Amino acid sequence: MSRILLLGGDGGLEYRLGQFPGNLLVPIAASVVERPEFDLRSLMVEDHLPDIVVFGPQVTRHTAMSLASLLDAMHPQITVVLVADPTTDVMLEAMRSGIRDVLSPEASDEEYRIMLLKAHDHSSRRDLRRRSTDTEVERVVESRVVVVASPKGGVGKSTIAVNLAVGLARQAPMDVVLVDLDLQFGDIATHLDLKPAHSLADVFASQGGVDTLLLKTFLTAHPANFYALCGSESPAAADKVGPKQVRALLSSLAAQFRYVIVDTGAGLDEPTLAALEEANDAVFVSSMDVASVRNVRKEIEVLATLSILPGARHLVLNFADRDSGLTVRDVEAVVGLPVNVVVPRAVEVSLSSNRGVPVLMAKKGGPAAKAMNNVVKRLESDGESAKPAFAHKGVALT
Ligand SMILES: Nc1ncnc2c1ncn2[C@@H]1O[C@H](COP(=O)(O)OP(=O)(O)O)[C@@H](O)[C@H]1O
Ligand SMILES: [Mg+2]
């Protein structure tokens, strides 16, 4: 349950926030909030603090921003949301005042629901933090940047990345963002049947660049409760992106989301290398043929040489097939590393990509969906992946 304090909302907003069950909504009219003697501090009673404070369209921007700054200073754990047209000006000012979210008055019920879910998740994590100073708990709430990479195209990187986003969003609704860093041939939007209004090219072109709050205006919400930052329509946009920008983008997203999933193009281009530098986890994907497996091995060695091999690594063997002439053991022998998850070649996967609905969204998934779930489990904060996956057969990977 979330306690929501609504300051200066109109009837419509009150109705919209009140319609979601399980929340406690306390509305205070703008006429009260705008009085000179109004004292927000008197409403902030320890143990009865609101989880979310929403400024409605009836309070002046000046009042909203100054009260938000006050809240930010006194109770930074409270999620503050402003309902206003998210122009660049408003976003920048909101950001400076510690406002976490700006929602348009025209936002859909779905967007309101998502905002509340996210705020609720934020406050329960805060409670978790408050309850214990145990380092184990701290680790649980840390953010995690996960890069999905492979030397080859068509091996299932994007398929795995979208399913990771769907799977992790179940544990962390609206706290997952999927970034399409395949700057030339990114197809996350197709895999997810999204029609994004903005793309990565807009982020890199925008003046505010990678400011956390502005960034959010470029994200596209997916019905499975995560955000996507889709690739640009034109491959030419990729030319202008430098590694510094990529690193800044990912660290900015990591400050805001628990999971940042990065899909990459084939091989180790500059953006992929930059992403790997920021990554906590790398998911290496190989198909079941000798050339692909060998190249994965080479890629890992290059990363180790450059000292940018992420701390946790996972090897996924995709398109596993009895008729390939290779066994998992053969693959492990060639690559010199253990295979962590085997995803079988399955029609359910190709169908799901073509429909734009990841297999993990299907009601009843087959063996491939099960395998995708195993990849998700490795990445969940409390999963087993804290241990580096590769420390095997004398391969010195640091
Ligand atoms: N396990 C699988 N079984 C069948 N088809 C798959 C499997 N994994 C991926 N595919 C299909 O292969 C194609 C390429 O996958 P994709 O994820 O786009 O590869 P990449 O991102 O590495 O280029 C997609 O059409 C996808 O549906
Ligand atoms: Mg791809």
Rounded Cα distance, 96 and 106, in Å: 24
- Strand-pairing partners, residue 226, are 222
The residue among 184, 118, 123, 171 whose CA lies nearest residue 144 is: 171
Of residues 335 and 211, more confidence is placed in 335
pLDDT mean across residues, the chain: 85
Structural domain includes residue 186? yes
Ligand 1 pocket mutation, candidates 288, 349, 355, 374, criterion most atoms within 8 A of CB: 349
Q: Is residue 205 over pLDDT 50?
A: yes
* 207 shares its domain with 313: yes
* 122 shares its domain with 150: no
277-328: per-residue pLDDT in tens?
999 999 999 999 989 999 999 999 999 899 999 988 999 999 999 888 899 9
Q: Could you give the count of Cα atoms lying within 13 Å of 216 in the half-sphere of its Cβ?
A: 24
* 86 shares its domain with 215: no
Check which CATH number belongs to the domain holding 307 and give it: 3.40.50.300
* 115 shares its domain with 214: no
Q: Is residue 131 over pLDDT 60?
A: no
Which whole number is the average pLDDT over 103-115? 86
The residue among 378, 379, 141, 381 whose CA lies nearest residue 255 is: 141
Ligand nearest to the CA of 265: 2
End residue of a domain, out of 88, 106, 131: 131
* 147 shares its domain with 109: no
Check which CATH number belongs to the domain holding 87 and give it: 3.40.50.2300
| pLDDT confidence of residue 325 | 87
Tokens 């703008």 label which residue?
A: 30
Q: Which atom of ligand 1 is nearest to 347's Cα?
A: 4
From ligand 1's centre to the CA of 46, what distance in Å? 52
* 109 shares its domain with 208: no
Ligand 1 pocket mutation, candidates 163, 347, 353, criterion most atoms within 8 A of CB: 353
* 220 shares its domain with 349: yes
What is the DSSP code string of 165-229? HHHHHHHSTT-EEEEEE-TTT--HHHHHT---S--HHHHHHSSSTT-HHHHHTT-EEETTTEEEE
Helix ranges (H only) for the chain are 11-18, 30-33, 61-74, 88-96, 109-131, 135-141, 157-171, 188-192, 200-205, 212-216, 243-256, 270-278, 290-305, 328-335, 347-355, 367-379
Ligand nearest to the CA of 350: 1
Residue with CA nearest ligand 1 atom 23: 154
Ligand 1 pocket, 367 CB below 6 A? no
* 95 shares its domain with 148: no
Ligand 1 pocket mutation, candidates 350, 351, 357, criterion most atoms within 8 A of CB: 350
| pLDDT confidence of residue 212 | 64
| pLDDT confidence of residue 185 | 87
Structural domain includes residue 136? no
* 39 shares its domain with 151: no
35-45: per-residue pLDDT in tens?
999 999 988 88
Owning domain of residue 250: 143-386
Question: At residue 2, what are phi and psi to the nearest 5 degrees?
Answer: -115, 140
1-28: per-residue pLDDT in tens?
788 999 999 989 999 898 877 788 999 9
Lowest mean pLDDT among 70-74, 365-369, 386-390: 386-390
* Number of domains comprising the chain: 2
Structural domain includes residue 246? yes
Q: How far is CA 242 from the centre of its chain?
A: 21
Of residues 348 and 126, more confidence is placed in 348
Structural domain includes residue 138? no
Structural domain includes residue 102? yes
* 160 shares its domain with 127: no
